[in-house]
Amino acid sequence: MSEEHLKNTLKMLRDRFGLHESELMKYPPTFMATADKIVEISRTLRDEFGYNLLCELTAVDYYPEDMPRFHTVYGYYNIAENSRMAIRVPVNGENPSLPTLSEVYPGANWLERELWDMFGIKFEGHPDMRRILMPYDWEGHPLRKDYPLGYEEPQFTFNFDEIDKRKHHGRYEEA
């Protein structure tokens, strides 16, 4: 039952929207789409084909490449027919932006906020675009590849004082 439905869906995506498959994703079956069509595709999937659960909304940063720099991954699941599929949308590096999906799937609200916080991808039409995981005055988008990991060097004798200064409460004399 689910194989049949999945085949029909994939056929529809190929014929009606002219999408082609992505070679990168091994599971679930994935198509590549463009930013302007994603809301329409989602609406069709939800209303006509019953993909009512949005499983996944995440992004990948391919830093040295600029066009496209990010790939946003949308994962859909059809509870009644038990079929799963995904769509990848490439986004450019400067002023990355996508139309919001929160009218079609209300659950995408916070997922898009997380993408803005971590990657800097703006979602047009989003009711509440602000940082969700980092403090509100943080600068930078941490999950980008050009953002440093920010780790602390291990404390050896040559940098003992420098690291000790940061732990100003960690000294033995202070009660």
Binding site for other proteins (CB under 8 A): 24-28, 52-56, 58, 60-61, 73, 75, 79, 82, 84, 86, 105-111, 114, 127-128, 130-135, 142-143, 147-152, 166-170, 174-175
Return all residues near 122 (Cβ < 8 A) that are at least 6 apart. 95, 96, 97, 98, 116, 129
Classify each residue of 42-75 as buried b or exposed e, where b means 16 or more C-beta atoms within 10 Å of its C-beta: bebbbeebbbeebeebebebeeeeeebbbbbbbb
Closest to other proteins by CB, 15 or 168 = 168
Closest to other proteins by CB, 15 or 137 = 137
Closest to other proteins by CB, 13 or 118 = 118
Supply the minimum distance, in Å, between the C-beta of residue 35 and other proteins. Answer: 19
Closest to other proteins by CB, 36 or 47 = 47
